[in-house]
Structure 1
């Protein structure tokens, strides 16, 4: 018996927009967190090797807590439901600790050990609560929105909102920090994010019967999840997506400053803003002309192929106009990646319901987080290698000549390799065509028979 019972009515446009609005509040701090390396290394003077090693260890920690929180959400029973409590009560602490991360009380030039300790404590608290809120939010998507039409519709809305969050969280921090400081910038962003999340909570719900099935124990749940080849293909591709986007987000400030020779954050803001505005404008064409015709798998493969091609010019351009043209191409590819990621995971969860008779959204998103979080470790490791090999030293007023080329390599090679590995993973994704149609027919028949 499925964890869901009774008829499954369609959601309203208002519910879809409110669900999407929460994504704005979750996206802003997550993306602004991409500037933590820049803030702690280039501003607060934490040794780059310390920062890179710490970020890699963070990724391991976050990888472990993701499946645990996902499993707990599947088995949670409360008057608010299984997923909603994690979002409702996890969001505010997440935003508080996010803001505190940018209020470092000491400088790495005088006391690097104290700065590192502060960074570690604040980050662990931020990430722990953030994982709870984010897992609760994503696990609601395939439960609230049960058909492909609904999921692609809400995906378009939530990713349009997400592009706005990306624009705010990645393009504005350097400009705002230059005006009011990094700490006040983070506090402002935390306030905006809180308003979006708690406004959107008015539209979320859990379907009747979602708490009736006890669910698998942790060990069997892990085995069932990792035993699903559809999930493995998707999660490898998603991990490579975050390697690609995380590398570009983390490296853009360094690339602009040291490879293009442009001081300040204005050019960084311009380039990132261009990428995300173009991505937002491209969402509708991707949905209308590509996703409707080809489905989730092929749409993602097209997007990854375009991504690999789009970043190549960053290795060669020497001025802002060239970099700007490159970010336009990347923005077009990015729209396809962000549109279909959660839609294809919804298909995987539906297949699992057909096999196990249970809705296990929390475990799937938790295990997805377990693996995709490793992208941060990959990005941090590559960052550490590139800075060490190029001779980058934040305490120097003039960097060695190899630094400019080092950051060109950092901005291109990981993104290209990541996109190509994602294509390879999706080539083995089995849940498409007749197999996917059979899953949908089976679940629809179960709903009718109840």
Structure 2
């Protein structure tokens, strides 16, 4: 039957037929591949610092362009996810995209940090950035959608998914260090161009080096797929999906603001030049997040589930940023980032796990597994947080007098970046807490969904 599917080729992968749990080695290889995706995503947080503070591009123009990019990103996410679901090949739906999109994604990453123009030629610089960003973003969306689409398909139980989540996020903390904490320090010594090119090569090796053990289950390709418009209608009437995605958007707003604003906060609010303090603060947050993964998993996630874990994590992270409004020392900022890292740990641990539950519930409703479309549609909403971050930065920089062409900034700039670093993450955490409080897929409803889905899969295997 022709469903308008796309045909691709890629190296083959094993395809286990049963629901038996995956091996520890496969779980680790899946998690390690995440390192090659996390580093570029985090390194992109420094585009604002690189193009505005380093190359002296007008911050309002840059913010306007990034806001336009957020709209593009919101459109390409569901389209690429739907394309991934409809791809048919002997190697599956997701794996071909991981093989084919890695090189263009890493090439785009390297080029973005090797701009041949400065802010003295703003039109050429903006055009160059737009072209390289589009290459990087489109290919990266293919990678991220394909990778996350494998999570609910390869790992079927909550225990298995939560175990994989611990490994993924332990690896992710390393990626946060390499992609966020170290680049300012390395750039001060080597330059942003060398940092971008070197990390792009490292990430390509990490993706290709861990692809071989990944697999797709054959039954995931069996049923005809729902048309995109019908899927959109079904998805955007799904309260569980909308609640999770809105809460995740608030998480990415908080981390995006902190990552993109930390260099400005350190330089202008703490009056600490250079990248060493920025690296210290970001490293503190992410090392703390890594150390807290096991306690969150053992003492909160296992006994209370994903929703309660996320509620507690958002509460901690929201309260943690409040002191940034008045902290005036590096020591005080370090304590603040420790608290934020503790909250961030719970958020990153359960984010993908709770989305996998939503996808399972959607399978019961429609009879189809369309992980790519769901992760793509979540990306449509979540990536708008990047546009919000850019707009907020543009407003703050204009309102409080920041001008990268000035040798010395006005005193108001310090307060502006304090507000930028604290108010949006606090508001975002509060909104996420309220949304998750009313999350419907919990308690007996969640347990009944898991029982019904397990019975349906067992019956499908017996009949095949």
Q: Fold conserved (TM > 0.5)?
A: yes
1:165 is aligned to 175
Match of 2:136 in 1: 126
| 8 Å CA contact 1:87, 1:136 repeated in 2 | yes
Q: Secondary structure at the match of 2:89?
A: coil
Which of 75, 80, 87 is the equivalent residue of 2:98? 87
What root-mean-square deviation, in Å, do the aligned CA atoms of Structure 1 and Structure 2 show? 1.0
CA deviations on 1:145-189 (whole Å, 9 max, x unpaired) are 000000000000000000100111001111111111111111110
C-alpha contact (below 8 Å) 1:7/1:447 kept by paired residues: no
Measured after TM superposition, the shift of residue 191 of structure 1 is: 1.3
Equivalent position of 1:21 in the other structure = 32
Contact 1:5 1:447 in 2 (8 A): no
CA distance in 2, matches of 1:352, 1:198: 31
Which structure 1 residue ranges, 5 or more long, are not aligned? none
Number of the residue aligned with 1:259 = 269
Q: 1:203 Cα shift?
A: 2.0
Once the two structures are TM-superposed, the CA of residue 5 in structure 1 deviates from its matched residue by 10
CA contact (8 A) 1:6 1:447 kept: no
Q: Which of the residues 430, 439, 446 maps onto 2:449?
A: 439
Aligned to 2:257: 247
Deviation string, structure 1 residues 347-387 (Cα, Å, up to 9, x no partner): 00000111111111011100000000000011001001100
1:429 aligns with 2:439: yes
SS in structure 2 at match of 1:202: coil
Shift of 1:209: 2.0
Among 140, 160, 165, the residue aligned to 1:150: 160
Say if 1:5 and 1:209, in contact at 8 Å, map to a contact too.
no
Give the deviation of 1:214 after TM superposition.
2.2
The answer for the alignment partner of 2:10 in structure 1 is: none
- For the 8 Å contact 1:307–1:334, the answer to whether it is kept is yes
Q: State the partner residue of 1:351.
A: 361
Question: Which of the numbers 235, 239, 242 marks the counterpart of 1:225?
Answer: 235
Q: Tell me the equivalent position of 1:330.
A: 340
Q: Which runs of 4+ in 1 moved over 4 A?
A: none
TM-score, normalised to structure 2's length?
Answer: 0.95
How far apart, CA to CA, are the structure 2 residues paired with 1:84 and 1:420?
37
1:73 aligns with 2:84: yes
Match of 1:104 in 2: 115
Q: Is the 8 A contact 2:17 2:217 kept in 1?
A: no
Deviations 1:255-306 (A, max 9, x none): 0000000000000000000100010010000000000111011110100011
1:397 corresponds to: 407
- 1:425 Cα shift? 1.1
Q: Aligned residue for 2:392?
A: 382
Which of 290, 301, 313 pairs up with 2:300?
A: 290
Q: Is the 8 A contact 1:27 1:162 kept in 2?
A: yes
Residue 210 of structure 2 aligns to a residue whose secondary structure is: helix
TM-score normalised to the size of structure 1?
0.98
Query: Following TM superposition, by how much is the alpha carbon of 1:7 offset from its aligned partner in structure 2, in angstroms?
Result: 3.0
Residues 231-256 of structure 1 deviation map (CA, whole Å, 9 limit, x = unaligned): 00000000000001100001000000
Matched, 1:238 2:235: no
Preserved contact between residue 71 and residue 366 of structure 1 (Cα < 8 Å): yes
Alignment gaps of 5+ in structure 2: 1-14
- Separation in 2 of the partners of 1:259 and 1:35? 18
Displacement of 1:225 in angstroms is 1.1
Size of the aligned set, in residue pairs, is 446
Match of 2:21 in 1: 10
Distance in 2 (CA, whole Å) between partners of 1:164 and 1:77 is 34
**SS in structure 2 at match of 1:203:** coil
Preserved contact between residue 386 and residue 410 of structure 1 (Cα < 8 Å)? yes
